[in-house]
């Protein structure tokens, strides 16, 4: 009996069939061809001499299965029961220090592998067949596996549901949810298959799941197919020992779909991924460039390890070139607009781009306090410098795109309001992808200018700019950005007086615009000078300054940072890269609910999580000192025994940054700051 295979497949049948051990002569390690375009690395921080396998993407890291816990021993294997762990990843995709994933999901039986909905609110996982908390055997006294689902709750995963296609008489395991959430793939030895274990799919029908459908002979054989992973491109990755081109042992395979959605004959992924040992459980990121798989190949820690891989040009079959056509029209006349500036930026699902072209790092004074708050603020795109394309006479522009990417389109034309929109190629395979944009005509004129020091010419950020309508005496205010530039939009029919001021400077002289005309294609430029008072006017942040990060959202009672909810940490990493001398204390604070001991431990874990997040994005760990403060520094009335709203409690759940060293001058920007997301406690 091959106990190794039984462990990996999470099948604990007493009479499990023999699995032919791979022959090392059929797949020599010396022949393992690491193509120069493929990089494969052992994930050292999470691997051990125990079993680590079946990674799955979650939040900013991965969830995987391991036997490293010192828990109850499975008498059939002599090893601890499998449990789930979470590990954040660094900027290169390498997992960092692991933490137990869930107290509710981890139990005294085997759990894993897992799959998640795109928003991370629902989990699907394999577990030993349980009834009322006790393992349940079939008629032959075998304990199989089932697939369960659960939803993310207030404290942990809750509402654990036994899915309708499970049975006490056969095994169902290894779930993989499609990106759109409407199909669930899994492996099973249910009757009616081709033999061994086959891969099935079922579709979501309202709040339940339909009848499982076997994927057919192009995927399944009379042996074992398991560990399915369905990619955004529609490509299926899985593990098998039954296909004719098998190189020995467990190999990784892929299968694409035809125009009717049927899976094509499976292809062995070759010696780049398949060693002379078992290789299984591959997952791949959206654009097909990075992923993970499991292997017990020579050079690991002794048993199954998790490996990271990177394919810079994208894995075959997951990313294909596509043609994109952007057509721009006047919103009212529907006529095409010629000469429109278009910039195409590769982004992420929340619109952020890695090159910082869309967002500024903003440090803002908080009301009634010397503390500062920090966040990313979208840059003004009143004009597009160096556009990628301009539209032709028919209002069109053509771009080269890649499948399974998320792009941001910036569209600008004089006399029209600018437009920003997301262009997604996720799941699309056919060209051209046509995007229509309708621009609104402007109802005001652009006024812009630069505020700088009179003698040195150094730009002045955060200067307050006052613009007075000389007809109505109405005063409009705005502020300059990091480059000393201000922008505003003014109604026609009057002239305006513009002045600037800032603490530490003498007020500027007044400047007057000509009468603003109704030709809103015209841009009015008004520059002003400021003179420092007695040599003052510097804008350095002194050591000891506190920056409050109030919009880092954790689940209540949790410490894993939510994906897409850490923009302030993204902003902080950008700030620390911009000012390399900056060293900080990073302190995490909880609300008063829960015991002092629990809150202290929770805040330490949250500070460590934020620390890891920054390090993963390229900040030197030595520049950050994480501290867990618990509920020691409550900022309002909401102490123990005081009834408060969720908004009041959230005010105390924050991360603070205290600057303990900085040599460079740092700009402070002013922006209106309103509430963003409330992390509400679920009833």
pLDDT at 213 (0 to 100): 97
Statement: residue 633 has pLDDT above 90: no
Cα–Cα distance for residue pair 273/39, rounded to 1 Å: 10
In this prediction, residue 6 carries a pLDDT of 42
- CA-nearest of 60, 68, 49, 163 to 106 is 68
Q: Left if phi > 0, otherwise alpha if psi is -120 to 50, otherwise beta: which for 134?
A: beta
pLDDT for 336: 96
Name the token pair of 232: 């955004």
Concatenated DSSP letters for 364-426?
A: EEPTTSS-EEEEEEEPP-SS-SS-SEE--TTSEEEEEEETT-EEEEEEE-TTB--EEEEEE-T
Which residue from 244, 224, 268 is spatially nearest to 18, judged by alpha carbons?
Answer: 224
* Model pLDDT for residues 385-405, shown as the tens digit of each residue: 678 899 999 999 999 998 878
Residue 671 pLDDT exceeds 80: no
Q: What is the mean pLDDT of residues 601-610?
A: 85
Mean pLDDT for 228-247 is: 91
Rounded to an integer, the average pLDDT of 622-649 is 86
Residues 6+ apart with CB under 8 A from 353: 345, 346, 347, 359, 408
Judged against a pLDDT cut of 50, whether residue 136 lies above it is answered with: no
Contact (Cβ atoms closer than 8 angstroms) between residue 568 and residue 375? yes
pLDDT range class, residue 366, cuts 50, 70, 90: low
Comparing 76-85, 422-431, 444-453, which segment has the lowest mean pLDDT?
A: 76-85
pLDDT band at 137 (very low <50, low <70, confident <90, very high): very low
Residue with the two structure tokens 């828990």: 71
Q: Which two tokens stand for residue 62?
A: 């991965």
Torsion of CA 198, 203, 208, 213, to 10 degrees: -30
pLDDT at 389: 92
User: Between these two residues, 121 and 216, which has the higher pLDDT value?
Assistant: 216
Task: Reply yes or no on whether the pLDDT at 476 is more than 60.
Answer: yes
Q: Is 80 exceeded by the pLDDT of residue 14?
A: no
CA neighbor of 362 nearest in space, from 354, 372, 349:
372
pLDDT of residue 376: 59
User: In this predicted structure, which of 270-279, 352-361, 471-480, 633-642 has the lowest mean pLDDT?
Assistant: 352-361
Q: Which of 25-29, 63-67, 109-113: highest mean pLDDT?
A: 63-67
Pairwise pLDDT comparison (156 vs 205), residue with the higher score? 205
Reported confidence tier of residue 135, pLDDT bands at 50, 70, 90 = very low
The enclosing H or E element of 121 equals none
479 has a pLDDT exceeding 80: yes
Tell me the C-alpha distance between 289 and 308, whole Å.
11
All domains of the chain, ordered by start, with CATH? 3-19+40-311 (2.120.10.30), 321-439 (2.60.40.1120), 445-532 (2.60.40.1120), 546-661 (3.30.1330.60)
Residue 640 CB partners (closer than 8 Å, separation 6+): 592
Cα distance from N-terminal residue to C-terminal residue, the chain:
49
Q: What totals of helices (H) and strands (E) does the chain contain, helices first?
A: 4, 45
Neighbouring residues of 621: CB distance < 8 A, sequence distance ≥ 6: 611, 615
How many whole angstroms separate alpha carbon 323 and alpha carbon 123?
36
CA distance 484 to 502: 12
Per-residue pLDDT for 484 more than 90? no
DSSP state of 199: E
Residue 277 has pLDDT above 90, yes or no: no
Whether pLDDT at 553 is above 60: no
Across 515-529, average pLDDT: 84
What's the average model confidence in pLDDT over 580-593? Answer: 87
pLDDT winner (highest mean) among 221-235, 236-250, 420-434, 507-521: 221-235
pTM across the whole model = 0.67
pLDDT band at 365 (very low <50, low <70, confident <90, very high): low
């Amino acid at each position: 009996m091959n106990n190794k295979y039984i462990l990996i497949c999470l099948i604990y049948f007493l009479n499990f069939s023999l699995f032919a051990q791979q022959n090392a002569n059929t797949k020599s390690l010396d022949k393992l061809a690491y193509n120069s375009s493929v990089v494969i690395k052992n994930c050292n921080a999470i691997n051990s001499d125990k079993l680590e396998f079946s990674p799955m993407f979650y939040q900013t890291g991965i969830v995987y299965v391991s036997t490293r816990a010192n828990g109850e021993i499975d008498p059939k294997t002599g090893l601890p029961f499998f449990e789930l762990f979470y590990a954040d990843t660094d900027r290169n995709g390498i997992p960092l220090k692991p933490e137990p994933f869930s107290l509710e999901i981890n139990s005294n039986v085997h759990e894993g592998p897992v799959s998640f909905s795109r928003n991370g609110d629902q989990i699907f996982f394999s577990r030993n067949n349980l009834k009322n908390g006790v393992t349940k055997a079939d008629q032959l006294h075998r304990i199989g596996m089932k697939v369960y689902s659960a939803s993310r709750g207030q404290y942990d995963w809750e509402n654990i549901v036994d899915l309708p296609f499970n049975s006490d008489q056969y095994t169902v395991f290894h779930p993989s949810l499609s990106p759109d959430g409407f199909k669930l793939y899994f492996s099973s030895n249910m009757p009616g298959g081709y033999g061994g274990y086959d891969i099935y799919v079922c579709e979501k029908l309202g709040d339940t799941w339909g009848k499982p459908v076997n994927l057919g002979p192009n995927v399944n054989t009379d042996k074992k197919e398991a560990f399915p992973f369905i990619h955004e491109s529609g490509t299926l990755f899985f593990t098998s020992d039954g296909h004719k081109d098998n190189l020995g042992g467990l190999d990784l395979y892929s299968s694409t779909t035809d125009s009717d959605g049927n899976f094509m004959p499976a292809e062995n992924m070759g010696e780049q991924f398949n060693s002379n040992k078992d290789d299984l459980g591959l997952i791949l990121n959206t654009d097909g460039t990075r992923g993970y798989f499991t292997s017990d190949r020579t050079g690991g820690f002794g048993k199954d390890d998790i490996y990271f891989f990177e394919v810079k040009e994208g894995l075959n079959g997951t990313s294909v070139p596509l043609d994109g056509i952007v057509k721009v029209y006047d919103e009212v006349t529907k006529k095409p607009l010629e000469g429109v500036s278009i910039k195409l930026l590769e982004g992420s699902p929340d619109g952020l781009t890695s090159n910082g072209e869309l967002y500024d790092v903003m440090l803002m004074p908080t009301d009634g306090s010397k503390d500062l708050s920090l966040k990313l603020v979208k840059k003004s795109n009143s004009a597009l410098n160096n556009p990628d394309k301009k539209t032709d006479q028919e209002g069109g522009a053509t771009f080269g795109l890649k499948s399974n990417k998320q792009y941001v389109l910036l569209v600008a034309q004089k006399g029209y309001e600018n437009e920003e929109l997301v262009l997604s190629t996720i799941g699309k395979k056919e060209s051209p992808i046509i995007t229509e944009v309708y621009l609104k005509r402007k109802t005001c004129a652009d006024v812009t200018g630069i505020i700088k020091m009179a003698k040195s010419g150094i730009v002045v950020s955060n200067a307050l700019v006052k613009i007075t309508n000389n007809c109505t005496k109405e005063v409009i205010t705005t502020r300059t950005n990091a480059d000393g530039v201000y922008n505003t939009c003014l109604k026609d029919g009057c002239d305006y007086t513009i002045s600037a001021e800032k603490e530490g400077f003498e007020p500027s002289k007044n400047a007057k615009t000509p009468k603003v005309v109704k030709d809103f294609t015209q841009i009015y430029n008004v520059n002003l000078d400021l003179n420092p008072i007695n040599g003052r006017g510097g804008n350095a942040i002194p050591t000891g300054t506190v920056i409050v990060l109030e919009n880092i959202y954790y689940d209540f009672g949790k410490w894993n940072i939510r994906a897409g909810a850490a923009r302030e940490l993204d902003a902080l990493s950008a700030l620390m890269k911009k000012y390399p001398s900056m060293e900080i204390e990073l302190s995490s604070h909880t609300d008063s609910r829960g015991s002092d001991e629990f809150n202290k431990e929770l805040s330490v874990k949250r500070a460590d999580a934020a620390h890891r997040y920054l390090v993963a994005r390229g900040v030197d760990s030595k520049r950050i000192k994480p501290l867990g403060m618990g509920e020691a520094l409550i900022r309002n009335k909401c102490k123990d025994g005081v009834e408060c709203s969720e908004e009041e409690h959230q005010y105390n759940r924050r991360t603070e940054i205290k600057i303990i060293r900085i040599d460079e001058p740092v700009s402070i920007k002013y922006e209106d700051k309103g509430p963003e997301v409330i992390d509400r406690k679920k009833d």
